[in-house]
Chains A and B, each alone.
Chain A
Amino acid sequence: MLYAPTNLHIPDGFLTIIVSLIFWLITIVMVGLAVSKTNKSLGEKQVPLMGVMAAFIFAAQMLNFPIAGGTSGHFLGGALAAIVLGPWAGILVMTAVVGVQGLLFQDGGLLVMGANIFNMGILTAVIGFGLYRLVVHQKRGVRLVVAGGGAWIATMAAALAASLQLWLSGTTRLEIVLPAMLGVHALIGVGEGLITVAALAYIEQTRPDLLNAEKTTREGGRGWIVGSVLVTLAAVLISPLASGSPDGLERVAENLGFLGSGQDAPYQILPDYTIPFLGETAVSTILAGVVGAVILMGLLILVGRNLRRRTEV
């Protein structure tokens, strides 16, 4: 892979349909809103600006900085995009990036893309922009610190969300994946925060017109502040709760029927499940045999065709 293999891009098959659907709904609503809002604020300039910005984020994610002993860190960019371009444009840009990464490079699945966009685009926009908006009229130092902190929190929140999605789908055990994800991203988040701060400082120096208080307040109202604070609080509260007493949460989830979304292991299905029109399991065994034979035959045919083609060429 040419670019940052952040372990936040969830592939297909790792989330259940229900979880995927829930996050697709949230994402569709937010992206739809983003399209109409940016249309109003930017007009015709909207498309070339966000297209090139999306390419920029993509390219920036390829930058690496050496940490120690051969490892290097990478940059996600969601918070930066939201702060400088405004939250709605930030969401659109990250949607395009995640979309192309999934579609073209199989970095992140197609069915689960709603969740990926939510984690890496929407959460980062809400937290990154909202917290910055809170201090937009403060001194430069305060603003930069909050921006960096916001980027860190956004990274952690994305990791938390991904962990919860994976757990709700029955793909992982919470007490194993959550500390690992949060731990790793606590470090990655530091890099993200610092790079965000350095980039913002540079942009403010060279193009102060792109990053001034008046512009920022225009791009998003106080609702974002509320949203960011709520999400941050939620993240802060859930994380220790989840890592600390996962059994409690699991019991709750089991009672709600969430875990594995009702997909039981087959050994449980076979003895109890009676197929009305097929009758006993003997028939289904024969059918299984037939299907198996068909598959084998199909494979042989395909391999045969290919070998023949290769000798002909």
Chain B
Amino acid sequence: MPVKHKTPFELIIPECEGDLLQIQDLHFAYPDGHQALRGINLSICEGEKIALVGPNGAGKSTLMLHLNGILGEDTPITIAGLKLEKGNLPLIRALVGLVFQNPDDQLFSPTVFEDVAFGPLHMGLPEEEVRLRVEEALAAVGMDNFGSRLSHHLSMGQKKRISIATVLAMHPQILVLDEPTAGLDPRARRSLINFLRDLPITMLVSTHDLRMVADLFPRMVIMDEGKIVADGQTQLLLKDEDLLLAHGLESLS
């Protein structure tokens, strides 16, 4: 299991040269010509919790969709030593757990149980193992008895949690979340933040919620117009008001 999470105040970014995820000079343009990524360089080590912030249209979602090969086929991305190419994609999708912003996109099976079981079933795991993983994943997100429920009838906060469970059941090495607190009321948001805090897994989370970033993520990466404009300790970056303002972010003070 990855390194245990340290609180933001005794801040040490582990020197590991990106043993889990490495991106070297990634460029990407959409078919309509829009240049979404202009030379991205990023390294993530095991155990890190990183926030990805920036204005809408900065390329955050585009970057995330590259991490499991949904976008971009021949890319300079390496995950746990595996180069991201067509042949490796099925395995990479077991390593990188991508949770989309809209849980309605994520939950497409009849019952909660079947949704969480989808990943392990597709991986060809035996039935007993699948059941075990589903139970574990649901317990991890605090939704133990929701197996037989219909996702259609759940609240937004519940759906968001189940979405995370659907990915956790695959035992990924890195969890990539796209705006997990968007659309949540304060109670559900607080609950999700606590949950993420206690989850001992490498995380890359894109968000507009700077308070959550200050709370949970020692390292912050700021993106704007397809480039990474800052990458460092959250505490320090949050103090640089000019930087925040220049890239569409509001300071917390």
Direct contact of A and B (CB under 8 A): yes
**Chain A interface residues (CB < 8 Å from chain B):** 201-202, 205-206
Q: What number of B residues sit within 8 Å (CB to CB) of A?
A: 4
A205–B109 alpha-carbon span in the complex (Å): 12
Q: A202 to B153, alpha carbons, bound, how many Å?
A: 12
Query: In the complex, what residues of A have CB within 8 A of residue B153's CB?
Result: 206
- For A201, the chain B residues whose CB sits under 8 A away are 110
Cβ of B150 < 8 Å from any Cβ of A? yes
Q: Does B4 contact A (CB under 8 A)?
A: no
- In the A-B complex, the 7 residue pairs with the smallest Cβ-Cβ separation, listed nearest first, are A206-B152, A202-B110, A206-B150, A205-B150, A205-B110, A206-B153, A201-B110
In the assembled complex, how far is the CB of residue A289 from the closest CB belonging to chain B, in whole angstroms? Answer: 49
6 chain-A/chain-B pairs, Cβ below 8 angstroms: A201-B110, A202-B110, A205-B110, A206-B150, A206-B152, A206-B153
Q: Which A residues touch B150, using CB under 8 A?
A: 205-206
- Chain A residues whose CB sits within 8 angstroms of the CB of B110 once the complex forms: 201-202, 205
CA distance A180 to B150 in the complex (A): 41
| List of B residues within 8 angstroms of A206 by Cβ | 150, 152-153
Chain B proximity of A116: nearest CB distance (Å): 30
Q: How far is the CA of A202 from the CA of B150 in the complex (A)?
A: 9
Contact with A along B147-169 (1 / 0, CB 8 A): 00010110000000000000000
In whole angstroms, what is the CA distance A205 to B153 when docked? Answer: 11
Residue numbers in A under 8 Å from B152 (CB-CB): 206
Task: Please measure, in the bound complex, the distance between the C-alpha atom of A206 and the C-alpha atom of B152, giving whole angstroms.
Answer: 7
Closest approach, in angstroms, between the C-beta of B145 and any C-beta of chain A? 18
Once bound together, how far apart are the Cα atoms of A202 and B152, in whole Å? 10
Interface positions, chain B 108-131, Cβ under 8 Å from A, are 110
In angstroms, Cα B151 to Cα A202, docked, is 11
Question: Separation in Å of the B31 CB from the closest CB of chain A?
Answer: 12
Nearest to A202 among chain B residues (CB) is B110
Taking CB as reference atom, which chain B residue is nearest A207? B152
CA distance A201 to B150 in the complex (A): 12
The distance in angstroms between the C-alpha atoms of A150 and B115, with both chains bound, is 29
**Shortest Cβ distance from A205 into chain B, in angstroms?**
6
Q: How far is the CA of A3 from the CA of B110 in the complex (A)?
A: 25
Q: How far is the CB of B150 from chain A (nearest CB, A)?
A: 6
| CB-CB nearest in chain A for B152 | A206
Q: What is the distance, in angstroms, from B93's C-beta to the closest C-beta of chain A?
A: 15
Nearest-CB residue, chain A, relative to B109: A202
In the bound complex, how far is the Cα of B110 from the Cα of A201, in angstroms? 9
Cα A206 to Cα B150 with chains together (Å): 7
Contacts of A205 in B (CB 8 A): 110, 150
CA distance A201 to B152 in the complex (A): 14
In the complex, what distance in Å separates the CA atom of A71 from the CA atom of B152? 31
- A115 to B153 alpha-carbon distance, docked (Å): 41
CA gap between A206 and B111 in the complex, in Å: 10
In the complex, residue of chain A having the shortest beta-carbon distance to the beta carbon of B153: A206
Residues on B with beta carbons closer than 8 Å to the beta carbon of A202: 110
Distance in Å from the Cβ of B13 to the closest Cβ of chain A? 42
In the bound assembly, the distance between CA atoms of A266 and B146 in angstroms comes to 73
User: Which B residue's beta carbon lies closest to that of A198?
Assistant: B110
**Nearest B-chain residue to A206, judged by Cβ:** B152
| Least CB distance, B22 to chain A, in whole angstroms | 31
* Smallest CB gap from B151: residue in A: A206
Provide the bound-state CA to CA distance between A205 and B112, in Å.
13
Within 8 A of A (CB), among B137-187: 150, 152-153
CA A190 to CA B153, docked complex, whole Å: 30
Shortest beta-carbon distance, A203 to chain B, in Å? Answer: 10
Q: Nearest Cβ in chain A — how far from B122, in angstroms?
A: 11
B224 to chain A, nearest CB (A): 32
Give A206 to B109 CA distance when docked, in angstroms.
12
Considering the chains assembled together, what is the distance between the CA atoms of A201 and B153 in angstroms? 16
Nearest chain B residue, comparing its CB with the CB of A205? B150
B152 to chain A, nearest CB (A): 4
Bound complex: CA of A206 vs CA of B153, how far in Å?
Answer: 8
When chains A and B are docked, how far (Å) is the Cα of A202 from the Cα of B115?
A: 13
Separation in Å of the A176 CB from the closest CB of chain B? 39
